[in-house]
Amino acid sequence: MAADARSDAELLIASRSDPSAFGEFYERHVGRILVFFRARVGSPEAALDLTAETFAAVLGGVGRYEPGEAPAASWLFGIARNKLSEAIREAQVQDRARRAMAMQPIEVDDEGVQLIEQRASAPALEMLGGLPPDQRAAVSARHLRELE
């Protein structure tokens, strides 16, 4: 598929009524935004979350976007900086609250994540018990093992 020749500003304006225009804008910039966050936060997961939050905010604000002399990417990175500032403030508030209660931070390794996921899926497995075997297998494959 050929790249869209429209400028970023044109894509943002078109995004108001054309989802594919936003998709093109996203594809152009998602890598740069992810790198921006990854260089500033402690984990790839946090960088991905902040990237998603940034593009959600862009999509939600596209109706207010007004092109100007600055490139549209400047508007995008301004939103990314705001999301980063919000995340830092939130982390500081959580850290102060944790310290006020004399609690240690909880460190979760891969094994811990796996255990949490297993325990979280247990009620779902119990609910599946009442389904016929073919339906139980289909629901389990799709929603618990994330297969097609």
Q: Of 33-42, 107-116, 119-128, 139-148, give the lowest mean pLDDT range.
A: 119-128
- What does the H/E/C string look like for 78-112? HHHHHHHHHHHHHHHHHHHHHHHCCCCCCCCCHHH
| Alpha-carbon gap, residue 99 to 120, rounded angstroms | 28
| Alpha-carbon gap, residue 55 to 26, rounded angstroms | 7
Mean pLDDT for the stretch of residues 95-123: 67
| Alpha-carbon gap, residue 107 to 112, rounded angstroms | 9
Summarised one tens digit per residue, pLDDT across range 12-34 is: 999 999 999 999 999 999 999 99
**pLDDT attached to residue 116:** 60
Highest mean pLDDT among 11-15, 44-48, 138-142: 11-15
Pair 37, 50: CB distance under 8 Å:
yes
